[in-house]
Copies of this chain bind each other. A is one copy, B any other.
Amino acid sequence: MEKQVWKPGAMLNPVPVVMVSCGSISQKTNIITIGWTGTICTIPPMLSISVRKSRFSHALIKDSGKFVVNLVSQPLVRAADWCGVKSGRDFDKFAEMGLTAVKAVTSNCPVIDESPVNIECTVSQIIELGSHDLFIANIDSVSVSQDLIDSSTGAMDLKKANLAAYCHGEYMALGSQIGKFGFSVRKKKKGN
C-alpha cells in the first residue's frame, strides 16, 4: 500500500468522546469534554484522562482527586461539543446546557444525570507529559441507565445508548455491528 510519511501527531482514531464532570455538588461543578481517555487496566478497573494544566477542570480534579466519566449519547453530542469549547471559569455548564447534576454514589462529585453511563473515578497518579497531564484513576462505581437493561434477563444492551465516537475532528455515530469478540475463531452452528 502506497503511504505518505507524516510528522508525528495524535492520529489514533476513533477515540472515545466523554463528558468528565468534576468539582463538588455542593460548591463549584464543571464539565470538560475529553477525547484523550482510555481504559488502562481490567483488574483493578482503571482508566486515564489527559487534561491541559490551563483548563479550569484541571485544578478541580487535582484538588478533589475525583471525577466522573459520563458517556456521550448522540443527543448529548451538541452539549459535549459546547462543554469542550467553553470554560467553566465563564459559565455554569450544567445550567447552560440544561443538564442535571446529581451527586455521585461514591463522592461529592457531580454526575450528569442525562448520560446513560456514569463511571466514578479516584485519581491515583498524575504524570506530567507536556501539553497534557495524564490522570491515572481507579474506577469506584458504575451507574447504568435502566433503559439499557432488559428487565427480564438483566442483560445490558449498550447499543441502545447510541453512543458517539470521535474521529479526526468529527463526532460520529456508531454504525452496524461487524462481529463480536472472538467471532473469527467461533465454530459455526450446524444446520440452520
Taking chain A's interface residues, is the majority helix, strand, or loop, or is none over half, making it mixed? strand
CB distance from A112 to the nearest CB of B (A): 9
For A58, the chain B residues whose CB sits under 8 A away are none
Q: How many copies make up the complex?
A: 2
Q: Is A118 at the interface (CB under 8 A from chain B)? A: yes
Are the CB atoms of B173 and A45 closer together than 8 Å?
Answer: no
A69 to chain B minimum Cβ distance, whole angstroms, is 6
Say yes or no: A1 contacts B145, CB within 8 Å: yes
Which residues of chain B are within 8 angstroms of A163 by Cβ–Cβ distance?
A: 13-14, 167
Of B45, B85, B173, B181, the residue contacting A10 (CB under 8 A) is B45
Q: Give A contacts to B, CB under 8 Å.
A: 1-16, 18, 35-48, 50, 69, 71, 74, 77-79, 81-82, 84-86, 105, 113-114, 116-119, 125, 127, 129-132, 134, 136, 138-147, 149, 156, 158-159, 163-165, 167-185
